[in-house]
Structure 1
């Protein structure tokens, strides 16, 4: 049975992700719909929800730390000249309705609301597709429309003065393990080489190691992220591996992204979720297949 509040994504009848539309969270975490848990076809979890290191990391979703001064990311706000600061400026994403809801995906309408009212309206499309007996793809597109009477701008800690912190947009918080995951693209390897750069695809590979207090090791896994439109490929990747495992897009890296009234920002990210450790050739082949569908 599928609940409209927590629909379950399935690939060939197998559950691979649960979507929470109305999370009960404190305002400082910027409540928003998200996917968690997301698993491989073999059942290995590849997302984390509200971890101790960043309680505002909520599985897979869309989050922006600065929408005209309002925090839709959660946690502290980076203020130029002051650093990370607790502010009462948190917004929330509110689920409005599903335009389509099937076992393998959905189309959702959301409202991005802050203290002054609604700022953005979003249409989010999510689809789960099988690729082979060890991999499936999560296809996520979000469209953000400025519904105010004036221009809006989207920012990040980087545009507010914190180098290397241009997060904001699509974000996937992966499962933290005793060893940091491997990070690589078609021609680069390592967090330092990949973070902040542009690449057609980016892989995060981990698993196979027990976490403290847990029995068993869990299977090895690989996530391969790809920008599936020209606009998405222009966004640099935000990557973390050593401190915590996470990958996202950077809507606002070098400068704020300005959205005139009535205009829409659209991004599409396709993520391959695979059992085992993929090499570069395997990752590239699966991404090509996933994006072309």
Structure 2
């Protein structure tokens, strides 16, 4: 089941809120395809290199030991291991649904338990004739009587693999995309570091990711360019993130989706406009 998102009267994204996916992919709602104003797709769905990469989604590899990322689970002392521990993000209800956005309620379930309740807010906004912005906020509430812990392969013993949270899988092209922030260039220089914004540039398109809350800005960026093109904002980079009983974790990422190759100054100006 899908919902089309529009910007300036044109369709720019499709949202699959009840995807029919195999359990090993950790079923979850996701956006795909997302396109530039010129119509170029800037997401990828179930690529051969990582079948569990699903466009734009919220994916966490370890929620109290349950996998909401897909694929194998990294186990300390064993490495990536196929486990029957996959969870499901279940669409419950629309609180709002308009052509340019929606507000959705979901539950994160695994092993017969409700682990998290999520309120997801997604909207589009036009910026220029060649750029628009996707505003994506997710609020995770622990409804249980005990604290809940979120982790990553890095917190489970795999250095540098602190992924989990907002994640955007971009399309693989003949050459690796460029990546840069305001003052750094290249995967090695930006991976695992914080930055107000981070740009991923393909052959004819550019994505500029910006953390739009203080907590989001403090999350390191997870970046891949050589192995595959993907960017995420990490909830648990070096240490597990505890969500106390009855409390809520909120993250917001605003992504500029642009045709062409804006330079650093142009990228910063687009981010300012998207966040204004």
Q: TM-score, normalised by structure 1?
A: 0.94
Aligned equivalent of 2:188: 192
Distance in 2 separating the partners of 1:91 and 1:105: 26
1:238 to 208, 222, 238: 222
Cα drift, residue 116 of structure 1: 3.5
Runs of 4+ in structure 1 over 3 Å off: none
Cα drift, residue 11 of structure 1: 0.7
SS at match of 1:284: helix
Distance in 1 separating the partners of 2:186 and 2:8: 34
1:143 aligns with 2:139: yes
Aligned equivalent of 1:86: 82
1:13 to 9, 31, 42: 9
Distance in 1 separating the partners of 2:225 and 2:235: 20
The size of the alignment, in residue pairs, is: 276
1:273 to 252, 257, 268: 257
1:260 aligns with 2:244: yes
Aligned equivalent of 2:118: 122
| Alignment deviations for residues 49-74 of structure 1 (CA, whole Å, 9 cap, x no partner) | 00000000000010100000000000
Aligned equivalent of 2:266: 282
Distance in 2 separating the partners of 1:149 and 1:89: 22
Distance in 2 separating the partners of 1:92 and 1:246: 22
SS at match of 1:7: strand
Distance in 2 separating the partners of 1:178 and 1:88: 35
Distance in 1 separating the partners of 2:136 and 2:24: 25
SS at match of 1:113: strand
**Unmatched segments (≥5 aa) in structure 2:** none
Distance in 2 separating the partners of 1:260 and 1:157: 21
Distance in 2 separating the partners of 1:100 and 1:59: 22
| Alignment deviations for residues 116-158 of structure 1 (CA, whole Å, 9 cap, x no partner) | 4110000000000000100000000000000112110000000
Aligned equivalent of 2:149: 153
Q: TM-score, normalised by structure 2?
A: 0.99
Aligned equivalent of 2:94: 98
1:54 to 30, 33, 50: 50
Distance in 1 separating the partners of 2:227 and 2:258: 23
State the Cα RMSD in Å. Answer: 0.5
**Unmatched segments (≥5 aa) in structure 1:** 208-219
| Alignment deviations for residues 15-53 of structure 1 (CA, whole Å, 9 cap, x no partner) | 100000111111110000000000000000000000000
1:221 to 205, 209, 222: 205
Aligned equivalent of 1:72: 68
Cα drift, residue 7 of structure 1: 0.9
Aligned equivalent of 1:210: none
